[in-house]
Chains A and B, each alone.
Chain A
Amino acid sequence: MATDLRISNISKIYPGCVANDNVSLQFKSGKIYALLGENGAGKSTLVKILSGVISPDNGEVFLNEKNLKLSSPLDAKKNKIGMVFQHFNLFETLSVFENLSIDATEDNKSLRVRINEILKKYNFSIDLDVPVLNLSAGQKQKVEIIRCLLRSPKVLIMDEPTSVLTEQETEELFISLKKFCDEGILIIYITHKLKEVLSLCDEVAVMRKGKVVSVSQTQNEKVETLANKMVGQKLAKIKKKINISKNKDEIFKVKHLNFYSDDPFETNLVNLNFSVKKGECLGIAGISGNGQNELFQILSGEIITPDTSIIFRNKEIAKLNPKQRREYLMAFSPEDRISQAAVPELKIYENVALNNFKSSNFFEKGLVNERKIKEHSKKILSDFSVNTDNVELKSQFLSGGNLQKLILGRELITAPELLICYNPTWGLDVGAINYIHETLIKINDQEKSTILISTDTEELLKLSDRIAVIYKGKLSKIMPSEEVTPEKLGVLMGGGSID
């Protein structure tokens, strides 16, 4: 039987934020629908309403013209709406089978039989008796999907399902989703990744600031058109003019950087030598796990290596710790925003104060000058268009893009001469990426230098003046970026040579 799901005039207002503003959409089985939008566009709120986790302030949901009262997750289950959450809703310490049996109505024996049938049908291989915490992200997601399938759902909602998957797991997921679709399950696929929409979905609804701004057939769309709809303005093509910097002074010079570790999860670095000129962006490309982590930590002073010479503004700083290096006007933006760059439990203004001990008058006689810090934080929030003006907000409630803007803002208030960043746009949506890129280019325009360690070749080619590739802890020769093509980088990143 065909399924028809209709959402009519749904609104949900949180204090200070309209999460869903009069949203109306219609879905029919046999197709895969994409719900596309940037972080914070209201997609997750909408699916939470559909799955009964939260109730809307206004509006109705119809399934096959029947008005659904979704006041708890049980109601959604009863009405055969299945949901796979972005952050898995599994019990990590319970076994896979226990996870699946918790809301089952049948006895364990017949449940096991049914689970095994599903495993076989869709070619999933999962051990039912191991605790969930031992599974990979892809397997956990399969457990969630099985949980939905056990209730023979009419609607299956996937909330950003690929954010934690490897490429291969993503492919497997797409194959399964297409199978489900052929069997008549209506699939709603929530994402901010444009390419996935184009390769998987039949129809796409774009959300922005709580509203549905467009509904269209995917075949009529391209990456650019979708991106523009999602962000709401024409995304400026960013192209940096290359600095003609041959005669400029070298501001940062690394010699004989060696690093040796017993830890099998760390990469040894072998004799790296490079320098950065004033106003230049040096890009370091590579597939992750080739020594970027170690390199970043050495450059920032988290790891001190013997016999290495690091000259910064004519001073030897190789033995200085990160705090001392900051005092010489270096700034750092690590890869992991949540655990390395910011303390998620602290408020925004507290995070701003964290690494500005000396440069500012945030602290007087050992006391915290809260007023000054807050003023300053407000300035960062507005200068770097962070999507809040509440400096009391805990940092963990910022989206990835906003947190990254905050971190960059914090790093840049000291007007550093050199900014070292590692994957600054990892996991961000298009609008935020554009903003970060513009900021990084602006830094170079002001005659300050940057080192950009990144796994994203597109980003590197866009921003760097010169590029080197790191492979198994060794650095390739440094090339002017106009001589570099994505193909060349690909060869070097895979360990080949291009001479």
Chain B
Amino acid sequence: MDFNENFILGCSAIGAGLAVIAGIGPGVGQGIAAGHAAAAVGRNPGAKSDITGTMILGQAVAETTGLYGLLVAMLLMFVKPLLP
């Protein structure tokens, strides 16, 4: 079977859109981390700088899965690996 180039490009665009749905997970996760960090600062305001550092590190690691989705979307959009 051979497909039209425009068909492949359109499907790539749809796939790119579906790939960035991966951003939902890190969003929820980072929100949870920030909420718990805020609660921790409220309980122990003296440890604010430690808590902030730990929160940022954890959030950046949680962000990775979303970035993988973004990378897949960018590959589909700009590198176009599916074109023959």
Q: A and B: real partners?
A: no
